[in-house]
Structure 1
Amino acid sequence: MGRRPLALSSPVSLPHRAYRLLSRALAAPLLGWLWWRGRREPGYRQNLRQRLGFIPIDPEQLGCIWIHAASVGEVQAMQPLLHALLEEWPAHAVVVSTQTPTGARALQTHWGDQIRHVYAPIDTPGAVARFLNRLQPRLLILVERELWPEWLQQCRANAIPVALVNARLSEGSARTYRRWPGLMRPVWPQLTVAAADTTSAERLRGLGVPEPRLHDTGNLKFDVAVPAARVALAPELQGRTLLVAGSTHEGDEAAWLAIWSELSPVNPSWLLVLVPRHPQRFDEVAAHVQHSGLSFVRRSSGQAVSPGTQVLLIDAMGELMHWYQHASLCFVGGTLAPVGGHNPLEPMSVGQPVLFGPHVHNAAPLFEEIARSGAGERVRDARELAAAVQRWLMQPETWQRRAHAARELIARNQGASARTLAVVRPLWRPAHTGNVSRVRASVDAGRTAWFDPHHLSQVCARTFDPIAHVGGTALATGSGRGQALLVHEGGQGYVLRHYRRGGLMARLSHDRFWRAAPHDSRAMREFTLLRLMRSWQLPVPEPVAASHWPRAGLFYEADILVGLIPGSANVVQRLQQRPLAPAEWQALGRAIRQLHERQVFHADLNAHNLLLDPAGQAWIVDFDKCGVRTGGDWKPRNLERLRRSLRKEATRVAPYHWTEADWAPLMAGYQDLPAPP
């Protein structure tokens, strides 16, 4: 997909060409910055090749749903949707990318090895092309606001639908997009949007997202799953009043440490629980607490909290919800620090009202609703924070009232994941998940094979050797690349096709192709495309196995094994026996239309590759050098190629029951019209 000329040479605007030049120029500095940042957080130095699109190839995940969640916040936001998605879609066919190691860790913490993780490519043409080529997703789901122009350009070029879910857009971001209309104009009609709030939906509508593609589904974070079990506190903590400052940054911590020097001595049972947002800051925060003169304990030290401990520093990942559950007061970080605010719905989901600062531009409508409903309170600085802390803890009825408002707000807004799934579902339908099977890979005698274990328990070099299949029957009537053989494996009949060259190149090397990685070989590409089309329930044969065989170091040979369509014959064979009925021509037209509706381009649409079975059902075969293609101008040319093929066979074979009048019922079927009289 990504290495097709289509992906890199399709027409793009002048602003996008300039963007490509800039992205290439910045690629090396960006990779250098990631390596440098890896001094403090080693995760940034790991898998740098993936940032250039060199992700490992797993054949069972080709044709997956790709979800991009940039960091921790986006990973948390998409979890309810992912839970809902996995009720309908196989987990092995979902891949999640992040940009930060903390996002990767959050995914690993919640899902373990159930969901595959990769690092997202930087936004250069080469990196994105390699990534798409190695993943070949059927759908891209972006979480919140990850609009990378080159990603979206190449998804358009490869006819990959894109959904933006839990979409949030500030006025500042909208102004930025409006400054670059030439670059962003093609993006908006491409998106299917599930907006987190009405304000964001209106801004996206103003930018150009079409009304039928714009949906106000609500904030996914309202559906965050509450931990199934409440883990008890350590005995030394059970008599303490816990004030949890979650996902904090330097400005948040500075404010809390400033007021804690005054509040803690007069309220010795109170314990400040600091949970920094980023693990690379754990040592830095510990140094700040020590410098403040407060008595503190680091969670990682294993040291017990004593009655004199004033601060507990949580220098561990994945524990925030536990501390929110046991808190007497919760503060949302990134709000006194000018970061824009982190997720206030996590503490609210366990019945906790929230305190937060003035910097909430990341989710301003949500924080405004929290303040308006009484589920939380905004403070402007450390002085107001101290006053609010004392008021909330000294007046239990105030806290109870706000806690009730928080629970009501959560209940009122739940259901966003179901609404979002309803918006996204048509983008993969009519995919039939029963056909999204797990593919296995094997290597035998230097030959790499991919196969579907639903058909074959194992494959070897013999599986693809026509000489080994004694009694195999030749099926195809064409010449060159169209040769096929009926073979039997495991008691079942299959069609084995050895890839051959056509035209002038066949005189130089009739069945060898210039070297390519297995996933880039003709056999694996056709195998993957057939799997995609079968999941769409298109009239094509089932892919059974494919092989890539390196030869003489510089070349490879390729073979594919597909399911047999019993009793079928191609159009040329049928026309040598009798004229086709109008209903049969219509069936052929409908089959071609089904492919074209899914944007499948057949590079060699001819009379030999159209089949009819005994029931009159039409099938299409031989998808070498084919693929999903954007646009529609190629479709009439595709049909005209078939028409030329029908005419050509009239000069080659006899008898041959074809007339120009037969084209009308075929086109009637293609256009879904009644057959002409």
Structure 2
Amino acid sequence: MSDNLYTIKVTEQAGFRLAHDPSKPRVWQMRLKSPNDGNHVAAITDRRETEQAQSTWCIGAHGCLLMVHLDVRAQGATYFISPPITSSHEVSSNLFNPQWLEAQGLIEGTAQGRAAAWFIRLKDEQLVLRHYRRGGLPARFSNDRFLWIGLRRSRPWRELSVLSRLHALGLPVPVPIAGRVQKKTVSYTADIITRRIPGARSLADFMLASYFGDTHDQNARDEVWRETGRVIRAFHAIGAHHADLNVRNILVDEQRKVWLIDWDRGRLNADAAIQNRSMARLRRSLSREAELETMARQGWPLLMSAYSRGP
């Protein structure tokens, strides 16, 4: 197999549907039938050809409101995926190599969990490299290999696509930088890079610091609970679904702005039932730590009141 580098560009558009409730616009997808349909991506990954592919997210009679691009570079069985707007640094294999980054003194810290993460500083830019890992029963067979069913259905492609749309809508998510997919016969491994949110810590850490005597007063804590509800409602208003909404995937920055991170398996066409289950998942995550549960007894009603009123 040749190691020559091939490049394609995928154009995706997104928009709103106002549906029954004008206060709840939703993103929905309509695939347009054209010579440049997104199915060409699969063909490119097999033939190693330079080509252009397109799929479209629209709103029917109202037309398309958003357009996002994903650039794909194929080198052998390795694919680099990136929105072309987000980083001043060239996307290369070195950016996905923790050993190389460590040797260059570019790693500022790490975080462990189901997805290992490395905090990187490149000149004036702070980035997060995350390696996709499996959870639950599948992890017993392989902790980081996924079944190959096409590049467009790979984990980094989907996450970068969702992040690009959410970022284009002005919602508080990390800026997407790049993804890497390494295919091997019927499986693949994957990584993603996003821009780090400066000075941010998880909602759990913010609340626990307050609980154990940090400088946050009661009014500040209450406002963060409310802001969290407003932010989640803003995502739900466009049909966005976070697949793992928990107290560790919500960040609070130094200005107490709330962000949602880790959009692996997220999507933009969720209905109210799915979103309600997501809220229940968040509530359960608070109950797993005694101190957080104590604070949530007062804070959760504030969050839900703000969520009900909307952004």
**Which bin holds the TM-score, normalised by the shorter protein?**
0.7 to 0.9
**1:488, CA displacement in angstroms?**
2.5
Within the candidate set 536, 555, 563, 2:169 is matched to: 536
Cα offsets for 1:626-654 (capped at 9, x unmatched):
1112431222211111000111133xxx7
Contact 1:442 1:449 (C-alpha < 8 Å) held by counterparts: yes
Q: In 1, distance between residues paired with 2:108 and 2:294? A: 26
Question: What residue number does 1:499 align with?
Answer: 132
Q: Secondary structure at the match of 2:13?
A: coil
Q: In 1, distance between residues paired with 2:310 and 2:269? A: 25
Q: In 1, distance between residues paired with 2:98 and 2:228? A: 31
Cα offsets for 1:95-125 (capped at 9, x unmatched):
9756xxxxxxxxxxxxxxxxxx54799xxxx
**1:64, CA displacement in angstroms?**
5.8
Residue segments in structure 1 that go unaligned for 5+ positions in a row: 1-56, 66-94, 99-116, 122-133, 140-160, 164-423
Within the candidate set 12, 18, 34, 1:62 is matched to: 12
Q: In 2, distance between residues paired with 1:673 and 1:449? A: 38
Tell me, yes or no, if structure 1 residue 661 matches structure 2 residue 298: yes
Q: Secondary structure at the match of 2:192?
A: strand
Within the candidate set 70, 95, 98, 1:463 is matched to: 95
Tell me, yes or no, if structure 1 residue 516 matches structure 2 residue 149: yes
Question: What residue number does 2:56 align with?
Answer: 137
Tell me, yes or no, if structure 1 residue 440 matches structure 2 residue 71: yes
Tell me, yes or no, if structure 1 residue 162 matches structure 2 residue 60: yes
Q: In 2, distance between residues paired with 1:448 and 1:592? A: 33
In structure 2, the CA distance between the partners of 1:522 and 1:450, relative to structure 1 (3 Å rule), is same
Amino acid at match of 1:446: A
In structure 2, the CA distance between the partners of 1:59 and 1:500, relative to structure 1 (3 Å rule), is farther
**1:516, CA displacement in angstroms?**
2.8
Cα offsets for 1:215-241 (capped at 9, x unmatched):
xxxxxxxxxxxxxxxxxxxxxxxxxxx
Point out the structure with the larger helix share.
Answer: 1
Q: Secondary structure at the match of 2:289?
A: helix
Question: What residue number does 1:451 align with?
Answer: 82
Question: What residue number does 2:43 align with?
Answer: none
In structure 2, the CA distance between the partners of 1:475 and 1:607, relative to structure 1 (3 Å rule), is farther
Contact 2:200 2:253 (C-alpha < 8 Å) held by counterparts: yes
Q: Secondary structure at the match of 1:593?
A: helix
Amino acid at match of 1:451: S
Q: In 1, distance between residues paired with 2:72 and 2:123? A: 18
In structure 2, the CA distance between the partners of 1:493 and 1:456, relative to structure 1 (3 Å rule), is same
Contact 2:37 2:55 (C-alpha < 8 Å) held by counterparts: no
Point out the structure with the larger strand share.
Answer: 2
In structure 2, the CA distance between the partners of 1:566 and 1:533, relative to structure 1 (3 Å rule), is same
Alignment of 1:248-647 (within 5 A): 424=62, 428=65, 436=68, 438-444=69-75, 446-454=77-85, 455-470=87-102, 471=105, 472-474=107-109, 476=111, 479-481=113-115, 483-489=116-122, 491-551=124-184, 553-579=185-211, 581-647=221-287
Q: Secondary structure at the match of 1:565?
A: coil
Contact 1:443 1:449 (C-alpha < 8 Å) held by counterparts: yes
Amino acid at match of 1:563: R
Cα offsets for 1:64-113 (capped at 9, x unmatched):
68xxxxxxxxxxxxxxxxxxxxxxxxxxxxx9756xxxxxxxxxxxxxxx
Cα offsets for 1:301-360 (capped at 9, x unmatched):
xxxxxxxxxxxxxxxxxxxxxxxxxxxxxxxxxxxxxxxxxxxxxxxxxxxxxxxxxxxx
Contact 1:576 1:657 (C-alpha < 8 Å) held by counterparts: no
Q: In 2, distance between residues paired with 1:520 and 1:570? A: 29
In structure 2, the CA distance between the partners of 1:612 and 1:536, relative to structure 1 (3 Å rule), is same
Q: In 2, distance between residues paired with 1:138 and 1:539? A: 21
**1:611, CA displacement in angstroms?**
0.4
Question: What residue number does 1:177 align with?
Answer: none
**1:504, CA displacement in angstroms?**
1.9
Q: In 2, distance between residues paired with 1:559 and 1:458? A: 16
**1:444, CA displacement in angstroms?**
4.0
Question: What residue number does 1:35 align with?
Answer: none
Alignment of 1:70-219 (within 5 A): 97=33, 118=36, 135-139=54-58, 161-163=59-61
TM-score, normalization: structure 1?
0.36
In structure 2, the CA distance between the partners of 1:530 and 1:488, relative to structure 1 (3 Å rule), is same
In structure 2, the CA distance between the partners of 1:451 and 1:582, relative to structure 1 (3 Å rule), is same
Q: In 1, distance between residues paired with 2:178 and 2:161? A: 10
**1:462, CA displacement in angstroms?**
1.2
**1:507, CA displacement in angstroms?**
2.2
**1:571, CA displacement in angstroms?**
1.2
Q: In 2, distance between residues paired with 1:468 and 1:495? A: 15
Contact 2:129 2:194 (C-alpha < 8 Å) held by counterparts: yes
Question: How many equivalent residue pairs?
Answer: 265
**1:58, CA displacement in angstroms?**
5.3
Contact 2:252 2:258 (C-alpha < 8 Å) held by counterparts: yes
Q: In 2, distance between residues paired with 1:559 and 1:643? A: 29
In structure 2, the CA distance between the partners of 1:659 and 1:628, relative to structure 1 (3 Å rule), is closer
Amino acid at match of 1:661: Q
Tell me, yes or no, if structure 1 residue 672 matches structure 2 residue 309: yes
Higher relative contact order (CA 8 A, sep 6+): 2
Q: In 2, distance between residues paired with 1:120 and 1:560? A: 21
The structure number with the bigger radius of gyration is 1
Q: In 1, distance between residues paired with 2:253 and 2:287? A: 22
Contact 2:8 2:73 (C-alpha < 8 Å) held by counterparts: no
Contact 1:515 1:554 (C-alpha < 8 Å) held by counterparts: yes
Q: In 2, distance between residues paired with 1:672 and 1:475? A: 38
Amino acid at match of 1:480: R
**1:461, CA displacement in angstroms?**
1.5
Contact 1:480 1:501 (C-alpha < 8 Å) held by counterparts: yes
Q: Secondary structure at the match of 1:443?
A: strand
Q: Secondary structure at the match of 1:511?
A: coil
Cα offsets for 1:234-278 (capped at 9, x unmatched):
xxxxxxxxxxxxxxxxxxxxxxxxxxxxxxxxxxxxxxxxxxxxx
